[in-house]
């Protein structure tokens, strides 16, 4: 009935509306936010001292001549932890999967079946707005901490190509994080209670994403399998790019691989949603 | 707030609380089992991390004496203390700030029993004790390794074991006091989500041998977390008593043992004082 351009216009204006509402909603708690962001760096203080003690012991013993662990020097490991904070700021999706599962359980999901708004699109725009608000407020604390810790970045700024690849990996990390967690939330169509499952996923992701330590520290046989998993894109991969741990000639291939994983999770999420809606039977009021 | 003529049997009351919590946990049995499984999973990941770390180094810190087996005793101590704090105090501290926010504290104040006792012990999170069991396993394995190893084998003396248990208990008291102080501040601050994060981040410091902070810009942290907010003593003092990283013991070590005793008593008194200050500035909510 309506011509295509106006339909598109309508869609865009509703997206903009969703974005603005979500943004305003977030900016209400900015004080709490900024303080919380600074505090989140506190565990890194412990990590700095722990790794100093470890490297100190290795150096004094003197049989490890190049003074690196898994290809990382002491400064690089600290820089790595700081960079994973940045990676996690993009890829972590607090409350996404549990939110979807809750909407399914309480029947709120009916809204999206009736209204001309796509659930996944709506959540994605919401999430982008939340992240955007977060970066606006967290930029200060992040800049402060990175400035104070600048001497840990021993090789200075990486090349423009690396920076570009780094940015690309952060953006794709965000999208993989989103579609991966949304897919987990869709499990709620089959099992009503997913919170324990989610907890198990969070545990694994903390370990296998490289948030706990650089994945190259793992014993070779385990590292081989872990680097096949997509979880590394949530933290390890962007940081490794920035620190030049991914050889230039493999960079394009690795990024292409990440893009394939991203497409896989988009497809998985879509399929799970359409299958789920088919078997959905509207509990609650 | 207690009535002078009524003397409740605190131990019996506590047993009732513990029983009620167990009944509640057993009602949602699958959930309980999954919680245990995930906390054991968390333990395994930590153990994995430190095993990887000790692939590359012989000890944490040069000449600190914290080699693999001794550090795992340290880790087991962390696990004992944290599991007990999480099982007995964490759920209650969370509830306390919620009671203040909703005005539900009125009901607690009316009960003929010490309010701090009621607030501190009402709930028990039994599933957190699975971490205690995990700590026992870690401790047994590392004690066995220590006793059987070729270079400098070690078996703790019986008085060390007794001192260890006492100081684990004192460490729990320090943690408990800190938690009571933090949750009591919600009377003045209202919402205190950030404060809970604060608790996690502070206790994060207690997880490693304290001497590792004693250099450069770590010194102020070392001083603050030893003498003002004594979280560094919580795990370090008992773990050093049992694991004996430096043999023979130094006088500094005995000083910290004494100080941990003083600090535990002091923080208990201070936390009770803060708790009562908080109660007297409490002005209900709603209605």
**Would you give per-residue pLDDT tens digits along chain A (285 residues)?**
445 567 778 778 887 888 888 778 777 766 667 777 777 888 888 999 999 999 888 888 776 667 788 888 999 999 999 999 999 999 998 889 989 988 888 888 888 888 877 888 889 988 998 888 888 888 888 888 888 888 888 888 888 989 999 999 999 999 999 999 999 999 888 887 787 788 888 888 888 999 989 999 998 888 888 888 999 999 999 999 999 888 888 899 999 999 999 999 999 999 999 998 888 876 554
Cβ-Cβ contacts under 8 Å, A58 against chain B: 56-57
pLDDT given at position A42: 83
Residue B128: the pLDDT is 86
Residues of A in contact with B207 (CB under 8 A): 46
Which range is least confidently modeled, A93-97, B188-192, B241-245?
Answer: B188-192
pLDDT, position B13: 86
Hey, is the C-beta of A29 within 8 angstroms of any chain B C-beta? Answer: no
- Does residue B109 register a pLDDT over 60? yes
CA distance A43 to chain B (A): 6
Q: What is the pLDDT of residue B1?
A: 47
Higher pLDDT, B79 or B57: B79
How far apart are alpha carbons A98 and A185 in whole angstroms? 6
The answer to whether A200 faces chain B, any CB pair under 8 Å, is yes
Contacting residues of A for B208, CB less than 8 Å apart: 46, 49-50, 53
- Alpha-carbon distance A200 to B35, whole Å? 9
Within 141-180 of A, beta carbons closer than 8 Å to B belong to: none
Q: Which residue of B has its CA nearest to A57?
A: B62
A156/A100 Cα distance (integer angstroms): 42
- A147-156 burial, b at 16+ Cβ within 10 Å, e below that, comes to eebeebbeee
Q: How far apart are CA A243 and CA A138, in angstroms?
A: 22
Query: Best mutation site among A37, A49, A149 for testing chain B: the one with the most B CBs within 10 Å?
Result: A49
Which residue in chain A is spatially nearest to B204 when comparing CA positions? A43
Contact B209 A199 (CB under 8 A): no
Residues 6+ apart with CB under 8 A from A188: A100, A101, A102, A104, A105, A194, A276
d(CA B57, CA A69): 9
pLDDT tens string B82-97 = 999 988 888 888 788 7
Domain boundaries, chain A: 4-279
């Amino acid at each position: 009935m309506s011509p295509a351009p106006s339909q598109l216009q309508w869609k865009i204006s509703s997206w903009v509306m969703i974005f603005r509402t979500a943004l305003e909603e977030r900016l209400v708690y900015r004080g709490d936010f900024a303080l919380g962001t600074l505090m989140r760096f506190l565990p890194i203080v412990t990590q700095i001292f722990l790794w100093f003690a470890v490297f100190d012991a290795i150096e004094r013993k003197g049989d490890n001549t190049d003074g690196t662990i898994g290809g990382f020097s002491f400064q690089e490991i600290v820089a790595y932890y700081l960079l994973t904070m940045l990676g996690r700021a993009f890829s972590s999706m607090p409350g996404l999967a549990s939110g979807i599962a809750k909407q399914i359980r309480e029947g709120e999901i009916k809204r999206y079946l009736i209204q001309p708004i796509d659930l996944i699109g709506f959540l994605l725009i919401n999430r982008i707005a939340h992240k955007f608000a977060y970066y606006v407020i967290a930029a200060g604390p992040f800049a402060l901490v990175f400035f104070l810790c600048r001497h840990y970045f021993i090789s200075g700024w990486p090349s423009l190509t690396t920076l570009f690849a780094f940015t690309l990996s952060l953006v794709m990390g965000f999208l993989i994080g989103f579609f991966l967690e949304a897919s987990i939330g869709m499990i709620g169509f089959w099992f009503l209670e997913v919170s324990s499952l989610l907890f198990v996923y969070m545990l694994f992701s903390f370990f296998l994403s490289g948030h706990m330590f650089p994945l190259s520290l793992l014993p070779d046989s385990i590292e081989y399998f872990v680097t096949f998993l997509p979880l590394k894109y949530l933290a390890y991969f962007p940081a490794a790019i920035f620190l030049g741990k991914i050889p230039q000639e493999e960079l394009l291939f690795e990024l292409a691989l990440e893009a394939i994983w991203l497409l896989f999770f988009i497809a998985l999420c879509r399929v799970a949603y359409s299958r789920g809606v088919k078997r959905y039977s509207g509990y609650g009021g | 707030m207690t009535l002078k003529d009524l003397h409740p049997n605190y131990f019996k009351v506590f047993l009732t609380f513990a029983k009620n919590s167990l009944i509640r946990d057993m009602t949602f049995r699958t959930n309980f089992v999954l919680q245990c499984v995930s906390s054991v999973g968390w333990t395994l990941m930590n153990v994995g991390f430190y095993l990887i770390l000790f692939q590359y180094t012989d000890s944490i810190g040069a000449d600190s004496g914290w080699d693999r087996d001794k550090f795992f005793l340290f880790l087991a101590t962390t696990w004992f203390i944290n599991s007990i704090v999480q099982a007995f105090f964490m759920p209650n501290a969370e509830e306390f700030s919620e009671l203040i926010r909703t005005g539900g504290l009125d009901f607690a104040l009316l009960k003929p029993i010490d309010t701090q006792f009621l607030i501190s012990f009402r709930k028990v999170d039994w599933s957190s004790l699975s971490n205690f069991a995990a700590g026992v396993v870690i401790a047994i394995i590392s004690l066995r390794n220590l006793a059987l190893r070729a270079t400098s084998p070690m078996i703790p003396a019986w008085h060390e074991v007794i001192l260890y248990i006492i100081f684990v208990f004192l460490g729990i008291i320090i943690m408990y006091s800190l938690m009571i102080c933090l949750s009591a501040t919600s009377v003045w601050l209202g919402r205190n989500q950030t404060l809970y994060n604060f608790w996690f981040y502070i206790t994060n410091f207690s997880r490693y041998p304290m001497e590792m902070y004693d250099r450069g810009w770590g010194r102020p942290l070392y001083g603050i977390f030893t003498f003002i907010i004594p979280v560094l003593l919580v795990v370090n003092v008992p773990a050093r008593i049992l694991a004996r990283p430096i043999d023979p013991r130094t006088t500094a070590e005995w000083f910290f043992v004494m100080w941990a005793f003083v600090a535990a008593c002091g923080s208990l008194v201070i936390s009770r004082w803060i708790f009562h200050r908080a109660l007297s500035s409490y002005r209900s909510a709603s209605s």
